[in-house]
Amino acid sequence: MQEFGGFSSALAVLASAAGCGLLMGIERERRKGAGPDRALAGVRSFTLASLAGAAAALTAVPALVAVGAALVAALAVVAYARDRSGDPGVTTEIALLLAYVIGVTCARDQLLAAALAVVVTGLLALRDALHQFSNQWLQPGEVRSGLILAALALLVYPLAPNAPLWQGVLNPQVVVRLVIVLLVIQSLAHLAKRLMQARHAMALSALASGFVSSTATIGSLGMEVRAGGATARANAGAAVLSCVATMAQILVVAATVQPQWLARLWLPALAGGCVAAAVGWWGGRGAGRRTATAADAGVDGALAVPPDTPMFKLRDALLIAALLTGIQVGVQALTAWQGDAGMLAGTLLAALADVHAATAAVLVRGGPDSAFAPAIAQALMAALLVHAGSKCVVALASGGWRYALAVAPGVLAHTLAFVGVLALQ
């Protein structure tokens, strides 16, 4: 009975290897061509290579597995040297060696081998789409941004010390993670602006700018109104839309600094974000209709060759992370000096400039089940109200009273929605 079980297991391994080889081989067979210029391997070669790897692995002789890999690699080298197709690529040769490796993997983890076969086949099948994406759609600035983001996520983040410093306020790895999250958000907003229609460019631009600073976005749009470059209603709608980013970034900061608070903050943030989105859309819908014809006529051509801009601004993300960390330190110092009163005072001062910094400063004090939870919730609600007031003042100073009257209802409405839902919990 034990021998039958071993035989059935071996059959399952060989069947998995054959399936993986067939999957890859069918894709290569469709591109193999015919005649003397055909490619080196097709459906049979890939299936046999995968079966050879599985059979070698089933013998449990490591030397045999290594010899088999060397033979497949040698065959690929010889075939490439004798290739007369005029294609200098080595994709098929590498894929053939991978088929052997996948066959070996089937003897140890069939699920992993199947997943790897699907990924390899997908890469092979998407050749034209990947070439077009790399050479035509992707811009050099976006490539550089992707490399920077990959370096931060794969090199800097794992090497950053994961040790809380100074009463748990400063954690280098948390700071790096916050920078990465900010860059990812900016990148997603950048890609959304490229993929969406031109008529939505203003709203998406305001939303993306809100992830950097909603207050600065409101001020910038207000100065445009004061200069006569836009109407108060249109820019006010975009300004309120930037507040959606404020709600989203509160959740991002909570997930980075104190994830336990997400269970209590997601519903208030959702309520505030929905109110801001609805008010912003209602305020800017007229401007969208007026500019739709011009956008469709004149901007579509520009979108075909978009400007070479990076996906994110690293300097802005670093400044935000530094501001968040600095304010956390300041609020912690005030809390150590004056207790809850110091925490509230420091949070309100921080909220005048940046509500995300105030959020991080109060949430780092403890989780929703800690003794500080009521004081933290009250400080957060007060910070949101103070920040809403500062946004209204910025709108008045930058764009005049018409712009401020158009912005204030949306800013106050979404803030009260957040505060009201949080207070009712």
H/E run at residue 208: helix 201-226
Mean per-residue pLDDT, 168-175 = 66
Q: Which of 54-68, 146-160, 356-370 has the highest mean pLDDT?
A: 54-68
Whether residues 6 and 124 fall in one domain: yes
Whether residues 149 and 125 fall in one domain: no
Whether residues 38 and 145 fall in one domain: no
Whether residues 195 and 303 fall in one domain: yes
Whether residues 333 and 389 fall in one domain: yes
Whether residues 234 and 372 fall in one domain: yes
Q: What's phi and psi for 170, nearest 5 deg? A: -100, 120
Has residue 310 got a pLDDT over 80?
Answer: no
Could you say which of 104, 133, 162 is where a domain stops?
A: 133
Could you say which of 80, 98, 133 is where a domain stops?
A: 133
Whether residues 251 and 197 fall in one domain: yes
Task: Give the C-alpha distances (Å, rounded to integers) separating 261 from 186, 195, 414, 418.
Answer: 24, 33, 20, 14
- Alpha-carbon torsion angle 335, 340, 343, 347, nearest 10: 180
Whether residues 98 and 172 fall in one domain: no
Q: What is the rounded radius of gyration, in angstroms, for the C-alpha atoms of the chain?
A: 29
pLDDT per position as a tens digit, 130-143: 777 777 777 777 77
Mean pLDDT of the chain: 77
pLDDT at 239: 87
CB 276, CB 247: distance < 8 Å: yes
Q: Where does the pLDDT of residue 35 fall: very low under 50, low under 70, confident under 90, or very high at 90 and above?
A: low
Token duo for residue 194: 């490229």
CB-side exposure of 200: number of CA atoms within 13 Å? 13
Whether residues 157 and 129 fall in one domain: no
66 versus 285: which is more confidently predicted? 66
Whether residues 176 and 36 fall in one domain: no
Could you say which of 97, 118, 133 is where a domain stops?
A: 133
Q: How many domains does the chain have?
A: 2
- The domain in which residue 85 lies consists of 2-133
Whether residues 102 and 185 fall in one domain: no
pLDDT at 99: 93
pLDDT per position as a tens digit, 344-362: 666 666 666 667 767 777 7
Separation CA 208–CA 179 (nearest Å): 16
Has residue 322 got a pLDDT over 90?
Answer: no
Share of the chain above pLDDT 90, in %: 17
Whether residues 328 and 181 fall in one domain: yes
